């Protein structure tokens, strides 16, 4: 078996289990061991994946939820194994449950982007790219056929699709044509490379002053795109030879954990001042120079904007039902955002 197949399958198992159990840890698995057994039995057989499509699994084995829990307590009957074969197993679109019905037809499209950035020691932007996902939450009756197109598909460096996306329309016209699964799913992921700037800057400085090392980190907004930046965090690993660190900041809180990880959560950047972290490090012995420098990992979240600039042009439903609500959202957050010092 190809190793990637095994890894990919394990990822699916963990996705499905955490989807069912609302988390994945030893206790949760123990508490729901029957469901875990049943799920694994459906998902793999003789070392080959069987049914990994969450929609079908959910129809075969009911996820534990409040209603079923209460029901089972009340009636004492707790079968979560479906008696019938989900219709989708046989269809050409196994991801879609057979014929759901909704009073309101709704589709929500979210652009969720993660920014991977590397800023090197000289403050030069070495790498800045966006990894984005188009997440769709669809509640549509019947067998809807959707098309989604981007205003600027050319900026997408590479893409990967959910199995529901038809390849050929994308090949020819860069149009996503698909029959969506019911509920929430990841329609596609994309990559946009070589961005020119980051929304925030981080300027770390380490200087030695008579055997003492001073740390000074400044964080600020680089350009204003009209949206507020939330939950800014900064994390870095102190060099192993550090004995103690005395760090303070003018906004937010600073924590130094036992494993010499320092985390500074800033939250929102205040209007009036530039957040800064400063302090001194004490080493085991006096050093004239440091040969190991920490890397600062930055986290942030910006609602309402896709920094890559990807824009959804339109979303159409073939054979339009009476009413269709469409919603679009965007979100950018930091992925592997690293600033070296």
Partner 1 sequence: MFPQFGATADTLSKASTMVFRIGTDAHLYDDPDDVSIAPLLDSKFDSEKCEALKRLLALIAQGIDVSNYFPQVVKNVASQSLEVKKLVYLYLLHYAEKRPNEALLSINYFQKDLGDTNPLVRAWALRTMAGIRLHVIAPLVLVAVGKCARDPSVYVRKSAANALPKLHDLRQEEHALAIEEIVGLLLNDHSPAVVGAAAAAFASVCPYNLSLIGWNYTKLCEILPDVEEWGQIALIGILLRYVIARHGLVKESIMFSLQCTESSHSVKDGSYVDFGKVKESTDMGGTCDYEFVNMVSRCYIEGPDEYLSRSSYANRESFELTCEQFTSGKSNDDVKILLYSTSPLLWSNNSAVVLAAAGVHWVMAPKEDVKRIIKPLLFLLRSSNASKYVVLCNIQVFAKAMPSLFAPYYEDFFICSSESYQVKALKLEILSSIATDSSISSIFREFQDYIRDPDRRFAADTIAAIGLCAKRLPKMAHICVDGLLALTREEFVTKDSEFGDQEAGILTQAIISIKSIIKEDPRSHDKVIIQLVRSLDSIKVPAARAIIIWMVGEYNSLGELIPRILNTVLKYLAWCFTSEALETKLQILNTVCKVLVSASEEDLCTFKKIFSYLVELAECDLNYDVRDRSRFLKKLPSSNLVFIGQEERTNDLPEKDLCVVAECILGRQTRKVKAESFSYRFYLPGSLSQIVLHAAPGYEPLPKPCSLFVDDLNVPEGTSEIKKRMAEHSVTDDYGTSSDRSDDESASDYDSQRSITESSGSGRGDDSEFTSEGNDNADPLIQISDISNAYENQNGVSQSSAANLGELMSDRALESWLDEQPGSSNPGISEQSDIRTSSARISLGDVEKRVKPKCYSLLDPATSGNGLKVDYSFSSEISSISHLLVCIEAYFKNCSSETISEITLVDEESDRTLDAEEKAADVNESLLASSNNVPTLVPMESIASLEPGQTSRRILQVRFHHHLLPLKLALYCDGKKLPIKLRPDIGYFVKPLPMDVEAFINKESRLPGMFEYTRSCAFTAHIEELDKENGDSLFVKDKFLAICESLALKMLSNANLCLVSVDMPVAANLDDASGLRLRFSSEILSSSTPCLITITVEGKCSDPLNLSVKVNCEETVFGLNLLSRIANFLVEPTLF
Residue 258 DSSP label: T
Output 20 or 110, the one with its CB closest to partner 1: 20
For 249, the token pair is 């900041």
Shortest reach from residue 35's CB to partner 1, in Å = 8
Shortest reach from residue 52's CB to partner 1, in Å = 7
For 48, the token pair is 């080959």
Residues 241-300 binding partner 1 (CB under 8 A) are 241, 284-285, 289, 291-295, 297
- Does position 336 bind partner 1 by CB under 8 A? yes
Paired strand residues for 315: 148
Output 162 or 227, the one with its CB closest to partner 1: 162
- Does position 325 bind partner 1 by CB under 8 A? no
Output 64 or 180, the one with its CB closest to partner 1: 64
Is residue 196 within 8 Å of residue 128, measured between CB atoms? Answer: yes
How many chain residues interact with partner 1 (CB under 8 A)?
Answer: 85
Cα radius of gyration rounded to whole Å, the chain:
25
Helices 3-21 and 33-43 meet at what angle, rounded to 10? Answer: 140
Output 106 or 336, the one with its CB closest to partner 1: 336
Among 15, 18, 23, 82, binds partner 1 (CB under 8 A): 82
Nearest Cα to Cα of residue 170 among 155, 150, 144, 186:
150
Q: What span, in angstroms and rounded, lies between the C-alpha atoms of 28 and 16?
A: 13
Sketch the per residue contact string, 83 through 112, with partner 1: x for CB under 8 A, - otherwise: xxx---xx-x-x------------------
Residues 20-79 binding partner 1 (CB under 8 A) are 30-35, 37-38, 41, 45-46, 48-50, 52-53, 60, 64, 68-70, 72-73, 76-79
Residues 119-158 binding partner 1 (CB under 8 A) are 120-122, 124, 126-127, 131, 157-158
Q: What span, in angstroms and rounded, lies between the C-alpha atoms of 180 and 147?
A: 10
Output 68 or 137, the one with its CB closest to partner 1: 68
Nearest Cα to Cα of residue 199 among 333, 295, 310:
333
- Does position 118 bind partner 1 by CB under 8 A? yes
How many C-beta atoms surround the C-beta of residue 44 within 10 A?
16
Output 225 or 335, the one with its CB closest to partner 1: 335
Shortest reach from residue 153's CB to partner 1, in Å = 13
The CA–CA distances, whole Å, from 59 to 11, 98, 335 equal: 21, 10, 34
3 state DSSP class of 24: coil
Q: What span, in angstroms and rounded, lies between the C-alpha atoms of 257 and 255?
A: 6
């Amino acid at each position: 078996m190809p190793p990637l197949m095994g890894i990919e399958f394990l990822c699916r198992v963990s996705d499905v289990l955490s989807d069912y159990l609302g988390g994945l840890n030893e206790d949760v698995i123990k508490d729901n061991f029957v469901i875990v057994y049943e799920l694994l039995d459906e998902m793999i057989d003789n070392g080959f994946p069987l049914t990994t499509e969450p929609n079908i699994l959910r129809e075969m084995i009911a996820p534990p939820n409040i209603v079923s829990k209460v029901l089972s307590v009340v009636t004492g009957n707790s079968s979560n194994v479906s008696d019938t074969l989900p219709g989708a197993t046989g269809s050409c679109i196994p991801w879609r449950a057979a014929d759901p019905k909704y009073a309101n037809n709704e589709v929500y499209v979210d652009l969720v982007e993660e920014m991977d950035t590397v800023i090197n020691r000289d403050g030069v932007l070495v790498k800045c790219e966006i990894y984005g996902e188009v997440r769709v939450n669809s509640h549509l009756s019947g067998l809807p056929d959707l098309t989604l197109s981007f205003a600027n598909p050319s900026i997408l460096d590479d893409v990967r699709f959910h199995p529901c996306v038809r390849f050929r329309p994308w090949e020819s016209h860069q149009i996503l044509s698909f029959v969506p699964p019911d509920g929430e799913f990841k329609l596609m992921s994309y990559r946009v490379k070589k961005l020119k700037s980051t929304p925030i800057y981080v300027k770390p400085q380490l200087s030695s002053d008579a055997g003492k090392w001073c740390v000074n980190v400044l964080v600020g907004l680089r350009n204003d795109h009209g949206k507020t930046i939330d939950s800014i965090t900064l994390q870095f690993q102190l060099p192993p030879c550090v004995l103690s660190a005395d760090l303070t900041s003018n906004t937010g809180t600073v924590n130094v954990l036992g494993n010499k990880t320092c985390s500074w959560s800033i939250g929102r950047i205040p209007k009036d001042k530039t957040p800064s972290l400063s302090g001194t490090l004490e080493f085991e012995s006096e050093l004239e120079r440091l040969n190991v420098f920490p890397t600062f990992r930055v986290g942030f979240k910006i609602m309402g904007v896709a920094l890559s600039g990807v824009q959804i042009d339109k979303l159409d439903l073939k054979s339009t039902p009476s009413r269709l609500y469409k919603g679009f959202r965007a979100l950018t957050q930091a992925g592997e955002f690293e600033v070296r010092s």
